[in-house]
Structure formats: structure tokens, C-alpha cells
Amino acid sequence: MIHSDSGARAIARRHPGAVTRAAALAAALLGLPVIVLSRAALATGPEAAGETARNPFAGDADAARSGRTLFNETCAHCHGPDAVTGLAERNLRHLRLRYGDRMAETFLTTVLHGRPDKGMPTWQGVLDDATIWKIYTYLSSIQASDD
Ligand code: HEC
């Protein structure tokens, strides 16, 4: 009895080690596909960036309304009241025509980091995310489709 108990304990003592080794081997074998998968995820850079540029207010009419006010208070002196301007490079009604599926991403990058060399200020740390996305919601609602 005593003898078999100590035998069982001896096996139990060895067993976790065996499990650990098996897990380590499995992890090593799984490591390759995991690395390949994470490389594949990195390869989708623009899509991943697009993920972060998803408007939380998409289709929200109230957000578009406050976005219009925020735009006219903050952006209109350079981009025109209600985003009507004669300066093509500042025309924010042409974002969809210009950037298509990358519109949200381009908007966010430009607003956060500005284009200091072109006279577009940096808004990161000045406007919060909600304000930026409300302005975007407004601009999305007034995109020109014909010119
Ligand atoms: C001091 C003037 C000024 C203000 C204020 C300003 N912008 Fe701009 N913005 C510019 C200029 C100039 C450009 C054009 C840069 C260029 O030529 O690429 C621009 C470009 C942009 C673009 C890129 C347009 C494109 O088609 O590539 C976006 C988006 C934009 N601004 C959004 C905003 C928003 C939103 C605000 C308000 C929060 C704002 N801007 C306030 C001057 C300004």
C-alpha cells in the first residue's frame, strides 16, 4: 500500500512534466502557423487602418446636425461655410470622389496630423474623437456625387 502510493506519487510527479513538454512541443508546432497568420494580418495594413477609421456615428442624423455646427465653428473659415469653397484642394464635398473607400481613413489621418506644409492644422489633442466623427458624419452627408 505504502509502496504503490509512493509509486503513484512518483508518476504524478513525472506526469506534469510530461504534460508541460507535450504542451511545449505543441506550442512549437503551432508556432509556425501562428507566425504566418500574424504576418498575413500585418500584410492587410490599409484594411487594419480602415478598421480604426470607422465612424461610430454613421447614419446618425443628430450627429450630422451637431457636426454641421461644429464644422462651421471650427473649419469653415478655411473650408467655407457648409463646406462650400471655390478652392478645389480644400473642397471637403469631394472627399468621396477623391478617396472612395479610403475616405474615412484619409479624413481621420488628415484631421489628426494635419498637412502643416499645406496650411491644414493638426487637430489631435485639440478636438476629441466624438467631435471629429460628428464633423465627419456631417461631411459624409453632403458629399457631391456629380462633379
Ligand atoms: C487654417 C485653415 C484650415 C482650417 C482651420 C482647417 N483646414 Fe482642413 N485643410 C486646409 C488646407 C489648406 C487644406 C488643403 C491641404 C492640401 O492642399 O493638401 C486642408 C485639407 C483638409 C482635408 C483633406 C482634403 C483632401 O481632399 O485631401 C481635410 C479632410 C480637412 N482639411 C479637414 C478639416 C477639418 C475637419 C477641419 C476642422 C476641424 C479643418 N480641416 C480645418 C486648411 C484648414
> pLDDT by residue (tens digit) across 59-103?
999 999 999 999 999 999 999 999 999 999 999 999 999 999 999
Are 69 and 109 found together in one domain? Answer: yes
pTM for the whole structure:
0.73
pLDDT band at 8, cuts 50/70/90? low
Q: Which residues of 42-51 are buried (b: 16+ CB within 10 A; e: fewer)?
A: eeeeeeeeee
Compute the distance from residue 126 Cα to the ligand 1 centre, in Å.
15
Are 107 and 57 found together in one domain? Answer: yes
* Phi, psi values for residue 124, rounded to 5°: -65, 130
Range of the domain at 25: 2-43
Q: Which residues does a 6 A CB cutoff place in the pocket of ligand 1? A: 74-75, 77-79, 89-90, 92, 95, 98, 107, 110-111, 115, 118-121, 123, 127, 135
Q: Is the pLDDT of residue 49 over 70?
A: no
Are 34 and 67 found together in one domain? Answer: no
Are 132 and 61 found together in one domain? Answer: yes
Rounded Cα gap, residues 1 and 145, in angstroms: 87
**112 membership: H or E segment, kind and range:** helix 103-113
Q: What is the pLDDT of residue 131?
A: 98
CB distance 96 to 105 below 8 Å = no
pLDDT band at 28, cuts 50/70/90? low
- The chain-wide mean pLDDT, for the chain, equals 80
Are 94 and 33 found together in one domain? Answer: no
At 118-141, the pLDDT tens digits run: 999 999 999 999 999 999 999 999
Residue 146 lies in a domain: no
Compute the distance from residue 58 Cα to the ligand 1 centre, in Å.
21
Are 74 and 122 found together in one domain? Answer: yes
Domain count, the chain: 2
Nearest CA to ligand 1 atom 9: 120
Are 23 and 56 found together in one domain? Answer: no
Residue 115 lies in a domain: yes
